[in-house]
Amino acid sequence: MKRTVITGGCLVLHGKGIVSDGVLICSEGRIEAVVPVEEFVSKPDDEVIDAGGCYVAPGFIDMHVHGGGGHDFMDGTVEAFLGVARAHAEHGTTALVPTTLTSSDEELFRSFDTFRKASSCNTDGAEMLGMHLEGPYFNPRQAGAQDPRYLTVPKPEHYNAVLEKGDDVIIRWSAAVELEGVEGLGHALREHGILASIGHTDAVYEEVAAAFGAGFTHMTHLYSAMSTVSRRNAYRYAGALEAAYLIDDMTVEVIADGIHLPKPLLQFVYKFKGPERTALCTDAMRGAGMPDGEYRLGSLEDGQTVLVEDGVAKLMDRSAFAGSVATADRLVRTMVQVAEVPLEDAVTMMTSTPASILGIRNRKGALEPGMDADIVIFDRNINIIKTIKASNVIYSQN
């Protein structure tokens, strides 16, 4: 049995810190063992990868991504799906969750069919874990870059029809929890094993707490398109943001590009939610990995034009951000170099934590025996050297 063996690296091991004298052994697409270098016994047909003193970590897991490399999942083509998966693999992502935008049902259902086709032939890109529906049940006051033409409220006849079309591909759904009918949606998602997320919301704390009881256990891009303390008829109310901190078991995700959230807020999230309940996500659109300029957010035929400049995507009038152009390596780099978070915690937020939130921690997110051999090798500046999916190198710097 041919093995892939990684030597000469600093292994980032969840809960155990960084180990500089270990050898990582993989076979048949899974991690077989992590052994001290003095105990390693080589075999003639081993494929040995010398990490050259670089870090060796679990492959990055991006649980919220719209596009990259000039493609968007809303384009509805296999070429676009595979193009996004390849673009993010170059930045250390070995698994991602293709995310939709609020759209027509026809466009949404087409994306389900395309996901199925692309998943069956995705050999050299990040694994596509399942789809995240971002909308259409959002509050217009917190719509951000979501197309207001398609915003609506959750009704059983609609979300059940969507679930019937995409139950085999949907793994996550974001909604504003103050909308009428959202409790029924939460119960339906829980029955289908789908992660219910709170996003683009103007809810007060009490509405979030009720939704948490109905199954909404995660916050979509914390701080972005989200209510905070407000005054209504002279009384102050805590918002969704405060609820994220007050509800201990609520998990969150942040766009850690250093622009959506500045250093103090990144540090605040890390301090009060911690790395085990905070995932990093890119929320990347098609401009990720591309030069500055104008791009379409959403599908080429029905999306809107946005401007990429200063390392972020914006609406054309510059009134709001329109997703990001971040990649996973940039997120980890920002948490380490800007937010001054220990490397092992930054890696946890990009690997083990999203895996746990998505319910796949039994097979992804750590360098442990029996786990998928999804691995990333990066240097001291978090520049990606190699990306490995199921023991196969899908990107190499050289």
Tell me the per-residue pLDDT of 170-213, one tens digit each, with 9 for 90 and over. 999 999 999 999 999 999 999 999 999 999 999 999 999 999 99
pLDDT of residue 271: 98
The C-alpha atoms of residue 379 and residue 397 are separated, in whole angstroms, by 11
More confident residue, 275 or 318: 275
Q: Position 236: which residue type? A: R
pLDDT of residue 322: 85
pLDDT of residue 38: 95
pLDDT of residue 298: 86
At residue 229, the 3 state secondary structure works out as: coil
Per-residue pLDDT tens digits for 59-91: 999 999 999 999 999 999 999 999 999 999 999
Question: How many other C-beta atoms are found inside a 10 Å radius of the C-beta of residue 265?
Answer: 15
pLDDT of residue 105: 96
Q: What is the mean pLDDT of the chain?
A: 96
Per-residue pLDDT tens digits for 7-25: 999 999 999 999 999 999 9
Instruction: Please say if the pLDDT value at position 265 is more than 90.
Output: yes
Q: Is the pTM higher than 0.95?
A: yes
Question: How many other C-beta atoms are found inside a 10 Å radius of the C-beta of residue 53?
Answer: 11
Instruction: Please say if the pLDDT value at position 304 is more than 90.
Output: no
pLDDT of residue 269: 98
At residue 86, the 3 state secondary structure works out as: helix
Read off the tokens for 324.
Answer: 């990001």
Across 379-394, average pLDDT: 98
Per-residue pLDDT tens digits for 114-131: 999 999 999 999 999 999
Contact of 114 with 189, CB cutoff 8 Å:
no
In a 10 Å sphere around its CB, with 0-12 CB exposed, 13-18 middle and 19+ buried, how is residue 315 labelled? middle
Instruction: Please say if the pLDDT value at position 144 is more than 90.
Output: no
Across 293-299, average pLDDT: 90
Phi, psi of 246 (to 5 degrees): -75, -30
CATH architecture for the domain at 59-357: Alpha-Beta Barrel (3.20)
Across 106-112, average pLDDT: 96
Give residue limits of the domains in the chain. 3-57+372-396, 59-357
Across 317-337, average pLDDT: 94
The C-alpha atoms of residue 306 and residue 34 are separated, in whole angstroms, by 46
With a pLDDT cut of 70, the percent of the chain lying above it is 100
CATH architecture for the domain at 3-57+372-396: Roll (2.30)
Using pLDDT thresholds of 50, 70 and 90, give the confidence band for residue 145: confident
Per-residue pLDDT tens digits for 33-50: 999 999 999 999 999 999
Instruction: Please say if the pLDDT value at position 300 is more than 90.
Output: no
pLDDT of residue 125: 98
